[in-house]
């Protein structure tokens, strides 16, 4: 199919380009592994029966495998340096699945076999004594037959002592794996903070980018909400507004990452720290989404409040014509534990567009499990025409579960809104999009200020 035969979006073209690059990397990997196998098959032991130290010897001896994978330091010392070379190759199951056939017509899904070295095994499992013996015996510290060095493995598995040993013995802190990652990019767990400190001390580039997405270490740390990592990167000169291939900054990454309600505070703190250090809240990604769009989609109301307090445009439309309010409402049914009503209320208090009254039945269908969300959406109108469509949009189970609220809502078809509510609408109309800023300054009792700012009542009056 010619790319000129159809209209391709930028996203489709980028996907095709990434697929082409992945196929190219896979081709190089197969070539390299074929070379290693050929070298292993042609290798002959020396006259005394002791093997040489050239990398490439393929070992299938279960004794060697068992010693390395269990961290048997005594056995490793006996084997390596005497009988076996330090840079031999072993086969292990990788992380990717593929279809494999040993007999014609019989296929099974199994993990790909990858080449690994004794250095990689011991570094990834934290066997620092075994690792030190291999290094002092002359193992190649940057040998990477499977695409990763031992330093990549140590950092990916948060093995700080092994990371220190490898760097001390000359491992390259900026080595790039077959997938285009440096060891710093693989520090994705809170426990890897010590590894990060060591890498930075030994001169790794804090602003290096991954080949596939163009992420820096700060993008990755923000995505995983690693507070210590983010602070350390910024102290070492990480660029807080650098964009990746999707034109996302680290602030976009922390706002876009879906997370549990237990982790919401951690993501908020990282967001706050990035803004304190100059992150632009108005930056847009390739879909013209701001950080507010993304925070509304993940329904983290604390991040939403923080972004709104920075003066971000609450009604900016993305390429799909969605404002932040649309993003929040689309996520309500899937993020009930995040209290989505708080996000919706904050948007309205900062001047977000209201839902068109004719669309309320549709909103009820998707958001009825969050009555408080419906409450704040309805309470920004001084009058609404309640129809049978409203009642039909709420499932019977939800009606029974929140009976008092929905009875008060549907009663609006026969009862006008209270005078108190009408006064609230008039005051909010006067302040337009500045309710959150101006209402707290009014000389009114706290409970009235809260009422004006759409405090939840769990019924409609």
Residue boundaries of the structural domains of the chain = 1-31, 52-204, 206-353, 360-461
pLDDT of residue 63: 77
Residue 26 has pLDDT above 90, yes or no: no
**pLDDT band at residue 62 under the 50/70/90 scheme:** confident
* Residue 61: pLDDT over 90: no
- What is the overall mean pLDDT for the chain? 86
How distant, in Å, are the alpha carbons of 87, 93, 309, 427 from that of 432? 71, 61, 16, 9
pLDDT (tens digit per residue) in 345-378? 999 999 999 999 999 999 999 999 999 999 999 9
Joined together, the tokens standing for residue 118 give 């004794």
In angstroms, how far is the first alpha carbon of the chain from the final one?
Answer: 61
Contacts of 97 (CB under 8 A, 6+ apart): 109, 110, 111, 112
Band of pLDDT at residue 11, cut at 50, 70 and 90: low
pLDDT digits (tens, 9 = 90+) for 384-398: 999 999 999 999 999
The arithmetic mean of pLDDT across residues 129-148, rounded, is: 89
Pick from 129, 206, 118: which is nearest to 165 by CA? 129
- The span from the CA of 311 to the CA of 437, in Å, is 11
User: Do 52-204 and 206-353 share a fold?
Assistant: yes
Q: What is the pLDDT of residue 289?
A: 97
**pLDDT for res 52:** 35
Nearest to 124 by CA among 33, 195, 212, 203: 195
pLDDT at residue 39, rounded to an integer: 47
Query: Does CATH number 3.40.50.1110 belong to domain 52-204?
Result: no
Q: Which residue has the tokens 């990916």?
A: 156
Query: Span 12-28, mean pLDDT?
Result: 67
**Contact call for residues 324 and 363 (beta carbons, < 8 A):** no
- pLDDT-based confidence at residue 414 (cuts at 50, 70, 90): confident
Task: Identify the CA nearest to 80 among candidates 36, 41, 126, 122.
Answer: 122
Cα–Cα distance measured from residue 113 to residue 197, given in angstroms and rounded to the nearest whole number: 33
What tokens does 231 get? 């602070």
Which segment of 117-131, 134-148, 284-298, 395-409 scores lowest on mean pLDDT?
A: 134-148
Rounded to 5 degrees, what angle do the CA atoms 199, 202, 203 make? 90
- With bands split at pLDDT 50, 70 and 90, how would you rate the model's confidence at 54? very low
Write down the CATH number for the domain with range 206-353: 1.25.40.20
Gyration radius of the chain over CA positions? 30
Q: Which of 103 and 133 is assigned the larger pLDDT?
A: 133
Residue 213 φ/ψ, nearest 5 degrees: -110, -10
Q: Residue 435 has which token pair?
A: 């309710």
Q: What is the 3-state secondary structure (H, E, C) of the chain?
A: CCCCCCCCCHHHHHHHHHHHHHHHHHHHHHHHHHHHHHHHHHCCCCCCCCCCCCCCCECCCHHHHHHHHHCCHHHHHHHECCCECCCCEEEEEEEEEEEEEEECCEEEEEEEEEEECHHHHHHHHCCHHHHHHHHHCCCCCCCCCCCCCHHHHHHHCCCHHHHHHHHHCCCCCCCCCCCCCCHHHHCCCHHHHHHHHHHHHCCCCCCCCCCCCCCCHHHHHHHCCCHHHHHHHHHCCCCCCCCCCCCCCHHHHHHHCCCCHHHHHHHHHHHHHHHHCCCCCCCCCCCCCCHHHHHHHHCCHHHHHHHHHCCCCCCCCCCCCCCHHHHHHHHHHHCHHHCHHHHHHHHHHCCCCCCCHHHHHHHHHHHCCCHHHHHHHHCCCCCCCCCHHHHHHCCHHHHHHCHHHHHHHHHHHCCCCCHHHHHHHHHHHHHHHHHHHHHHHCCCCHHHHHHHCCCCCCCCC
Look up residue 31 and give its two tokens.
Answer: 């070539």
Report phi then psi at 108, rounded to 5. Answer: -140, 150
- The pLDDT score that the predictor gives to residue 34 is 55
Rounded Cα distance, 86 and 438, in Å = 71
Residues 86, 5: Cα–Cα separation, whole Å: 55
pLDDT at 97: 56
pLDDT at site 80: 78
User: Would the pLDDT of 173 be above 90?
Assistant: yes
pLDDT given for residue 146 in this prediction: 79
CA distance linking residue 35 with residue 270, whole number of Å: 46
């Amino acid at each position: 199919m010619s790319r000129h035969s159809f209209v391709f979006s930028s996203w489709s073209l980028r996907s095709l380009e990434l697929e082409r690059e992945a196929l190219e990397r896979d081709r190089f990997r197969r070539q390299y592994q074929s070379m290693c196998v050929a070298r292993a098959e042609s290798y002959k032991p020396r006259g005394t029966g002791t093997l040489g130290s050239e990398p490439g010897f393929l070992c299938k001896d279960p004794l060697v495998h068992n010693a390395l994978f269990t961290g048997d330091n005594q056995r490793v010392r006996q084997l390596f340096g005497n009988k076996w070379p330090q840079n031999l190759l072993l086969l292990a199951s990788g992380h990717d699945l593929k279809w494999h056939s040993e007999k014609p017509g019989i296929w099974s899904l199994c993990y790909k076999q990858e080449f690994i070295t004794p250095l990689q095994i011991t570094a990834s499992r934290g066997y620092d004594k075994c690792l030190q013996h291999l290094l002092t015996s002359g193992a190649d510290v940057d040998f990477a037959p499977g695409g990763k060095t031992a330093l990549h493995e140590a950092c990916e598995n948060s093995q700080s002592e092994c990371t220190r040993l490898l760097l001390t013995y000359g491992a390259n802190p900026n080595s790039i794996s077959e997938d285009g990652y440096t060891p710093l990019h693989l520090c994705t767990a809170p426990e890897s903070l010590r590894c990060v400190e060591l890498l930075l001390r030994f001169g790794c580039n804090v602003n290096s980018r991954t080949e596939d997405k163009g992420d820096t270490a700060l993008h990755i740390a923000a995505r995983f909400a690693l507070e210590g990592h983010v602070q350390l990167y910024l102290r070492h000169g990480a660029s807080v507004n650098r964009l990746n291939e999707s034109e996302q900054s680290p602030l976009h990454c922390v706002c876009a990452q879906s997370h549990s309600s237990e982790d919401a505070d951690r993501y908020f703190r990282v967001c706050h720290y990035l803004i304190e250090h100059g992150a632009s809240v108005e930056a847009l990604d390739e879909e013209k989404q701001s950080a507010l769009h993304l925070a509304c989609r993940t329904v983290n109301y604390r991040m939403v409040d923080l972004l709104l307090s920075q003066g971000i445009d609450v009604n900016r439309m993305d390429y799909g014509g969605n404002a932040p309010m649309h993003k929040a409402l689309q996520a309500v049914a899937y993020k009930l534990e995040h209290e989505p009503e708080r996000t919706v209320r904050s948007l309205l208090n900062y001047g977000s567009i209201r839902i068109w009254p004719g669309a309320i039945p549709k909103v009820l269908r998707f958001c009825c499990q969050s009555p408080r969300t419906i409450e704040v959406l309805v309470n920004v109108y001084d009058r609404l025409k309640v129809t049978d469509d409203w009642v039909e949009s709420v499932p019977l189970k939800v009606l029974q579960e929140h009976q008092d609220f929905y009875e008060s809502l549907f009663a609006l078809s026969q009862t006008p809104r209270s005078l108190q509510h009408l006064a609230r609408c008039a005051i909010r109309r006067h302040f337009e999009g500045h309710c959150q800023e101006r209402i707290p300054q009014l000389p009114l009792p706290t409970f009235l200020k809260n009422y004006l700012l759409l405090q939840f009542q769990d019924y409609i009056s």
